[in-house]
Amino acid sequence: MVGLGPRKPPSRKGSMADVPKDLLDQIKRLEELFTVPQEKLKEITDHFVKELAKGLTVEGGSIPMNPTWCMGFPDGYETGTFLALDMGGTNLRVCEINLPEEKGEFDIIQSKYRMPEELKTGNAEELWEYVADCLQQFIEYHHEGEELDELPLGFTFSYPATQDYIDHGVLQRWTKGFDIEGVEGKDVVPPFEAALKERGVPIKLTALVNDTTGTLIASAYTDTDMKIGCIFGTGCNAAYMEDCGSIPKLAHLNLDPKLPMAINCEWGAFDNEHKVLPRTPYDIIIDKESPRPGQQAFEKMIAGLYLGEIFRLVLVDLHGNPDVKIFEGQDLGKLKKAYSLDASFLSSIEEDPFENLSETQDLFQNKLGITTTKPELELIHHLTCLIGTRAARLSACGVAAICKKKSITSCHVGADGSVFNKYPHFKARGAQALREILDWTSRKDPIEILPAEDGSGVGAALISALTLKRCKEGQTAGIRDPEAMLAAAKKMKVKQ
């Protein structure tokens, strides 16, 4: 099977023989709601292509299509020592990355810090203090007693940001359930730098990076066929390399039209105006109850943060339906708690290897205190497959749209994130959807979505290295203060 792409998911046989009519009817209804047939995938993709282009215009559209000032791919020979800070959604990670002389190699040391839940809905000051504390701890731990010059830092800030420069980023809006007051509409770099300065932490921010751009660049460092970087995790998004001549909203800067520019699509915002995505009543509730209703329509149907919640909403709805007998006489207190189930709960159900779904039965018992019957388990299992399959198939529309827009007929797509890496069959289902959208008949898929290199760590370091390199070469477009950047480049080595 080598080279033939991900295999089709093995299917549990599962018998519907004993499933009573009310549950069978509901299974059928859910199938209709959640299945995205080939024709619909194609329609979504075609609309997506237009929206990608629209996002690049001066007027703009729903998809932000943010120019990132990451201007070109690595050649594999980037060198230096860099810090990377990854503020993705779930954890905070600090890394030190060494890019040695050897092509495509890297060494990395890293520490993870839990992102306290309260911080996600707290205020800006607390956020920057916490982030700076983590960086300070990292440096004190790994460089105790050393005299350090300023270390260049790539800051992976994985939220939509308008960047006039690579070391600048105005947060457009929080996503992934974050709701920290006093950050939206502001440049995140100055308060971050101020918090570092206050603590005397010797760091020079060289690049503010999105995780997708980092993924694109890190993957291209080791594989030159990589043309797109994707994240399918707590949130979802992609980046690709555009040429400046095809970005009308940058025309006023008179850049060489042939210069490359990585675009952070922020495709989670695709179809915010609800023209084409087949939303279910559950998607509508998710949106309404989220901190940012009307935003991230696509992301809310796909990303890990929402998969468990979609599942939960369906079950609660079925239980409340007088025509359906499900979880009768059971206490649904735990299931009724919003966001109490995450995507890993669904993964475990999909992975249940037993015909009688005994692992799922245990999960419901232990986590939710619900005793399930065999027909209920069949419905539950079916529902997770429907939700997971829809997410994978819709994701493929975004990948296909970028390929169509750029007339890419063959390439590798680097993907990272918990859903991509851990959700069962996500890769195979996505690959199948790509085949359906792009009408491939050949045995080998010309466009393959593959596990990426560490974008938020190695990718951020590479983007810092590329920025310093182009600055030295006199290509200073999109660098706020080239002099200061050059000074940082000169001091770059860590003194032992």
For 439, residues 6+ apart whose C-beta sits below 8 A from its C-beta are: none
- Shortest gap between Cβ of 209 and ligand BGC (angstroms)? 10
Of 373 and 421, the one with the shorter C-beta distance to ligand BGC is 421
DSSP-derived pairing of the beta strands 203-209 and 151-157: parallel
Of 214 and 424, the one with the shorter C-beta distance to ligand BGC is 214
Per CB under 6 A, 456 contacts ligand BGC: no
Which of 80, 235, 455, 457 forms a contact with ligand BGC (CB under 6 A)? 235
Q: Are 243 and 258 in contact (CB under 8 A)?
A: yes
Full strand arrangement of the beta sheet holding 91-99: 107-114, 91-99, 80-87, 151-157, 203-209
- Shortest gap between Cβ of 16 and ligand BGC (angstroms)? 37
Q: Which residue's structure tokens are 């593959």?
A: 450
The residue with its CB nearest to ligand BGC is 235
* Alpha helix (H) residue ranges in 406-459: 418-422, 426-438
Q: Are 308 and 273 in contact (CB under 8 A)?
A: no
Of 167 and 445, the one with the shorter C-beta distance to ligand BGC is 167
Of 213 and 372, the one with the shorter C-beta distance to ligand BGC is 213
Half-sphere exposure (CA, 13 Å, Cβ side) for 18? Answer: 8
Distance CA 66, CA 43 (A): 24
Per CB under 6 A, 68 contacts ligand BGC: no
Per CB under 6 A, 299 contacts ligand BGC: yes
Q: Where are the beta strands (DSSP E) in 396-482?
A: 411-416, 447-451
Per CB under 6 A, 130 contacts ligand BGC: no
Of 166 and 438, the one with the shorter C-beta distance to ligand BGC is 166
Selecting among 62, 93, 158, 352, the annotated active-site residue is 158
Per CB under 6 A, 229 contacts ligand BGC: no
For 328, residues 6+ apart whose C-beta sits below 8 A from its C-beta are: none
- Shortest gap between Cβ of 58 and ligand BGC (angstroms)? 22
Give the SS3 label for residue 184: coil
CA-closest candidate to residue 310, choices 243, 383, 401: 383
Would residue 435 show up in a list of annotated catalytic residues for this protein? no
Query: What is the total count of residues that contact ligand BGC (CB under 6 A)?
Result: 17
For 13, residues 6+ apart whose C-beta sits below 8 A from its C-beta are: 355
- Shortest gap between Cβ of 143 and ligand BGC (angstroms)? 29
Burial (CB count <10 Å: 0-12, 13-18, 19+), residue 480: middle
- Shortest gap between Cβ of 53 and ligand BGC (angstroms)? 20
Selecting among 93, 173, 312, 470, the annotated active-site residue is 173
User: Site residues for ligand BGC, window 159-218 (CB under 6 A)?
Assistant: 159-160, 175-176, 210-212
Selecting among 86, 167, 187, 211, the annotated active-site residue is 211
Give me the count of residues in the chain: 496
Would residue 158 show up in a list of annotated catalytic residues for this protein? yes
Q: Where are the beta strands (DSSP E) in 260-364?
A: 260-264
Would residue 331 show up in a list of annotated catalytic residues for this protein? no
Cα pseudo-dihedral 120, 124, 126, 128, rounded to 10? 100
- Shortest gap between Cβ of 477 and ligand BGC (angstroms)? 23
Mask 258-297, x = binds ligand BGC (CB under 6 A)? --------x-x-----------------------------
Give the largest CA-CA distance in the chain. 74
- Stretch of 116-124, 156-164, 334-342, 397-405 lying at the interface with ligand BGC (CB under 6 A): 156-164
Mask 403-442, x = binds ligand BGC (CB under 6 A)? ----------------------------------------
- Shortest gap between Cβ of 362 and ligand BGC (angstroms)? 32
CA-closest candidate to residue 100, choices 461, 457, 468: 461
Per CB under 6 A, 459 contacts ligand BGC: no
- Shortest gap between Cβ of 266 and ligand BGC (angstroms)? 6
Active site residues: 158, 173, 211
Binding site for ligand BGC (CB under 6 A): 88, 158-160, 175-176, 210-212, 231, 233, 235-237, 266, 268, 299
